[in-house]
Amino acid sequence: MEDVVVLDQVSKSYKGFKLDRVSFALQKGFIHGLIGRNGAGKTTTIKLMMDLVRPDEGSIRIFGLDNRRHGREIRERIGFVYADNPFYDDLTVENMKRVVARFYKNWDEGAFQRYRKQFDLPANKKIKHLSKGMKMKFSIALALSHHADLLLMDEPTSGLDPVARREILDLLTGVIQDENKTVLFSTHITSDLEQVADTITLIHDGKIRFSLPKDEVEEKYVLVKGGTDLLDPDTRRPFVGIRETPVGFEGLSDKPEEVRALFGDRAIYDKPTLEDIMVYTIKFAEGLGEFGHEEHPV
């Protein structure tokens, strides 16, 4: 599989936050989900890829090229969608499109007009008069209209209603039918990724907790439910995190075979959702300190 993006030991420090030796790769032809809570480092990671911020250490290669030395060339092949509206509020949809289109050699006016109609974007309406969902759709239409090989989408579904979210997810699924395209989709709404993502990278507190194919994530973890009488220091060990109530416990384990051997049919085993995995992993990291990279290799 060809790596479109490779982040190697990338660090970036801000006051009160550090992106710490982040390494992962995005393979061509897949939708990659980047999950984590707000402030975890998702936007910083995407901005590093776009060369909007500079790493303190490490290297970033996109399409096999160094992203700082070949920024212009690389950005020609990237479609970007940011969570915050980056457009000029006083321009109309049509005029903003004209401005952006002139920068791309491969601008496809026909494709843009198709997306504009598909999204019901009014050409003569000012950006400031568009709803958040419309702005996001406009951003996506621009990103898709110059035949980008890589789509970087920072929280594209954040703040959208379920119908708009579904439209965007369906569109992404359609985009990825072209196996030459790669998508990085950052979100804290994990249910969006359950539908579309091929790989999941969890970032928390500036560190990558795991970066795995979605199927492997689902196989790697098990959600265990049972009575609190089953818990003792030894049986707690294989859990990433445990939530206890007066009537029982629910815990996430990344050692499914070990917990099955421990509890047998005295417990119930469920397939965890991405949200379960994210919440338990984050709670563990926050409540019990760091866990080693050996246990959760990237």
Cα 72 from Cα 152, distance rounded (Å)? 16
* Largest Cα span, the chain: 67
Residue with smaller CB distance to another protein, 154 or 276: 154
- Tokens 């689902």 appear where? 218
100 binds another protein (CB under 8 A): yes
Which of residues 57, 66, 88, 161 is near another protein by CB under 8 A? 88
Of 30, 82, 138, 210, the residue at the interface with another protein (CB under 8 A) is 82
Contact 251, 242 (CB under 8 A): yes
Residue 72 near another protein by CB under 8 A: yes
Cα(211)–Cα(283) distance, integer angstroms: 18
Number of residues this chain uses to bind another protein (CB under 8 A): 28
101-120: which residues touch another protein (CB under 8 A)? 102-104
Q: Distance (Å, rounded) from C-alpha 60 to C-alpha 49? A: 7
Nearer to another protein (CB atom), residue 82 or residue 249: 82
Report, in Å, the least distance between residue 107 CB and another protein.
Answer: 11
Residue 86 Cβ, how far from another protein at the closest point, in Å? 4
Least distance in angstroms from the C-beta of 72 to another protein:
5
20 is a site residue for another protein (CB under 8 A): no
The residues, ordered by sequence, that sit 6+ positions from 8 with a Cβ below 8 Å of its Cβ are 23, 58, 59, 60, 61
Binding another protein (rule: CB under 8 A), the pick from 10, 51, 239, 259 is 51
* Burial (CB count <10 Å: 0-12, 13-18, 19+), residue 31: buried
Backbone angles phi and psi of 108, in degrees to 5: -115, 95
158 binds another protein (CB under 8 A): no
Q: Enumerate binding residues for another protein (CB under 8 A).
A: 47, 50-54, 71-73, 75-76, 78, 80, 82, 84, 86-91, 95, 98-100, 102-104
